Amino acid sequence: MNAVLWGPMNVGTPELLALCGHFMLLSLLAVGGAITTAPDMQRFIVGDKHWLSDAQFTASVALAQAAPGPNVLFVAVIGWNVGGLAGVAATMFGSLLPSTTLALAATRWGAARKEARGVRAFTGGMAPLTIGLLLATGWVLTEPARHHPGTTVLVVATVALMLRTKISPMWPIAAGAVAGVFGFAG
């Protein structure tokens, strides 16, 4: 098969099944979107399996997040970098099937009971959980550049700005890009 068409083939069928299974489990924890499970994806793919380096993992996420389209595209890029087209299938199937099935069932159940105290408490409690998962994701994605003091300042300033204002996230992203161009961030 053509390596350009099929991509890297770093793993075989047993590894692809493990990859799919792990992403299926993460899919059920992806409160706030697939990006909130990036820290565990990084732990599994980089730390445990050594299929990608920290820099490759971060570049995969950054590339997909910079591209237009759904947030979950980073899962496909990670799958491609691990196992080519078969890796894309494993990660996307694993990420989408369980959460879609659960979301459909929970939405139907919750809509029928939307005024119940337990349903209201559950939905109110999900916001802090989502914020915590997003902060953990941000921390993992800054790993390759965290040693640089300029990057640390930018990350802290961005988090503070996002928590205290309603400014568009595009402004801190632009500031980070400018800082990187001029060598102020790693």
Q: What is the pLDDT of residues 111-154, one digit of tens each?
A: 888 888 988 888 888 888 888 888 888 788 777 777 777 777 77
pLDDT at 172: 83
117 CB neighbour count, 10 Å cutoff: 8
Cα-based torsion angle of the residue sequence 67, 68, 70, 71 in order, rounded to the nearest 10 degrees: 40
DSSP letter at 165? -
Write the CB contacts of 141 (distance below 8 Å, at least 6 apart in sequence): 38, 58, 61, 62
DSSP letter at 110? H
Helix (H, G, I), strand (E, B) or coil at 25: helix
pTM of the entire structure? 0.60
List pLDDT tens digits, range 93-114: 999 999 889 889 988 988 888 8
Three-state SS across 89-117?
HHHHHHHHHHHHHHHHHHHHHHHHCCCCH
